[in-house]
């Protein structure tokens, strides 16, 4: 059995666009006719340029290879061009292709991927979601409204979630870390208070940030949030500054989570070694794929740390996250986008079962999904914006700041 053909789907995500502007899916076909699907979560270059990168990685390192030889193909991609170091774009391309290889292997053995990784550890996976506007909410006002977010939180708990994430402390700027405005700290505290009041002890609060603060700024904000006992404080400083994150971890009594922008065990192991985080959030369409992330989970296990796979992408990466989560002992929870329904769910014919706050372990071969190629082809993404974009303007210390939830608008 050898890898023979590659097809790439760049799929536009219709409004409201939770999960990003587009999804990049790959389909691999072997010379024996078995197909496998994967997803590339790589956002630093445009999607159509990324298509060329994926093609190059496949043709250069994988085409004609037995899909079983994942370790060999990973080392080729990791070391390509005399680099032998983490490369977000190359490893992002490889990650989606690697997931497709595992889908092929599972189908060829008529077993779920987790069965080939060591078997089932977990029958179901605790799931969490961001808070999103309800139908009667003003979408633009929602992100800075503690009352609306508290109402959404209560609804998420009502349908079964036991953990909810929210993100009131923007902005995300290309300038790097900044000191939060007092208005940002005040809004963050009021948001935590309102949501905690709405859900009580029925749900953990997950405080999302995306690397936007200086070390001192992250500590100021984190200390202000401590009375509400969040389960995690996510990526409080830029992800390339591990030493600074470790300083925040030692100064704030909230567990630090990080990893959505990291790739390979080389970067994740440094986070653990320096004590920068105790919860890792690899996105399998970026982190190196399923096998590499299982290694990351094993390193985390040695450090008494847990895994909470990140998802701000499509449903194929979600399926890969779930296969890993079913297998590993140190899973904390897995991100979903609401309950995995809507357009993203339709792309896999809603073949993943979410039930009362948990994702049930799939039993079908491979990823356990049915990819809807017709729907993917009928929704091509034709623009050339990035999956998510940062603002150039700095933090506004007079008029306040807002992050509009990462929608496709």
pLDDT tens for 354-379 read 999 999 999 999 999 999 999 999 99
**Cα dihedral 406, 276, 71, 365 sign:** negative
- pLDDT over threshold 80, residue 403: no
CATH architecture assignment, domain 116-366: Alpha-Beta Barrel (3.20)
* Extended beta strands in 41-197, E state: 124-130, 163-166
pLDDT tens for 295-351 read 999 999 999 999 999 999 999 999 999 999 999 999 999 999 999 999 999 999 999
| Residue 303 CB partners (closer than 8 Å, separation 6+) | 272, 278
Span 285-293, mean pLDDT?
98
- pLDDT over threshold 60, residue 406: no
- Spatial CA neighbour of 282 closest among 308, 247, 301: 308
Gyration radius of the chain's alpha carbons: 20
pLDDT attached to residue 405: 59
Angle between helical axes of 290-302 and 315-327 (0-180°, round to 10): 40
Question: So where are the chain's domains?
Answer: 116-366
Whether residue 171 has a cis bond before it, omega within 30° of 0: yes
Span 44-69, mean pLDDT?
97
Residues 191, 189: Cα–Cα separation, whole Å? 5
- Spatial CA neighbour of 314 closest among 101, 93, 39, 100: 39
Provide the pairing of β-strand 232-234 with 204-208. Answer: parallel
Residues 168, 153: Cα–Cα separation, whole Å? 14
pLDDT attached to residue 407: 53
Whether residue 16 has a cis bond before it, omega within 30° of 0: yes
Span 173-191, mean pLDDT?
93
């Amino acid at each position: 059995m050898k890898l023979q053909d590659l097809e790439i789907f760049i799929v536009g995500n219709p409004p409201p666009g939770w999960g990003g502007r587009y999804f990049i899916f790959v389909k691999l076909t072997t010379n024996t006719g078995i197909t496998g699907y994967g997803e590339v979560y790589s956002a630093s270059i445009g999607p159509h340029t990324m298509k060329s990168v994926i093609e190059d990685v496949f043709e250069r390192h994988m085409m004609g290879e037995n899909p079983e030889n994942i370790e060999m193909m990973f080392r080729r991609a990791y070391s390509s061009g005399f680099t032998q170091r983490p490369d977000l774009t190359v490893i992002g391309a490889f990650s989606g292709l690697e997931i497709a290889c595992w889908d092929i292997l599972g189908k060829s053995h008529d077993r779920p991927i987790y069965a080939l990784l060591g078997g089932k550890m977990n029958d179901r996976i605790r799931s969490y979601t961001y808070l999103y506007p309800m139908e009667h909410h003003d979408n633009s006002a929602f992100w800075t409204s503690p009352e609306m977010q508290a109402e959404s939180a209560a609804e998420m708990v009502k349908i079964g979630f036991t953990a909810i994430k929210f993100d009131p402390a923007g902005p995300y700027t290309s300038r790097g870390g900044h000191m939060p405005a007092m208005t940002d700290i005040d809004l963050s505290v009021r948001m935590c208070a309102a949501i905690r009041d709405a859900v009580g002890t029925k749900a953990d609060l997950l405080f999302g940030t995306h690397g936007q603060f200086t070390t001192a700024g992250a500590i100021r904000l984190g200390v202000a949030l401590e009375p509400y006992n969040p389960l995690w404080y996510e990526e409080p400083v830029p992800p390339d500054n591990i030493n600074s994150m470790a300083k925040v971890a030692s100064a704030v009594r909230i567990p630090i989570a990080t990893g959505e922008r990291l790739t390979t065990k080389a970067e994740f192991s440094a986070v653990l070694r320096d004590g920068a985080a105790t919860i890792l959030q690899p996105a399998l369409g970026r982190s190196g794929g399923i096998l590499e992330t299982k290694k990351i989970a094993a390193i985390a296990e040695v450090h008494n740390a847990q895994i909470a796979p990140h998802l701000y992408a499509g449903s194929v990466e979600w399926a890969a996250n779930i296969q890993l989560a079913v297998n590993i002992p140190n899973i904390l929870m897995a991100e979903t986008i609401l309950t995995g329904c809507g357009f993203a769910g339709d792309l896999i014919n809603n073949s993943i079962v979410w039930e009362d706050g948990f994702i049930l372990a799939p039993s079908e071969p491979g990823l356990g999904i049915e990819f809807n190629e017709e729907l993917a082809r009928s929704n091509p993404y034709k623009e050339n914006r990035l999956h998510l974009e940062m603002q150039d303007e700095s933090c506004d210390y007079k008029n306040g700041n807002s992050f509009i939830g990462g929608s496709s608008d």
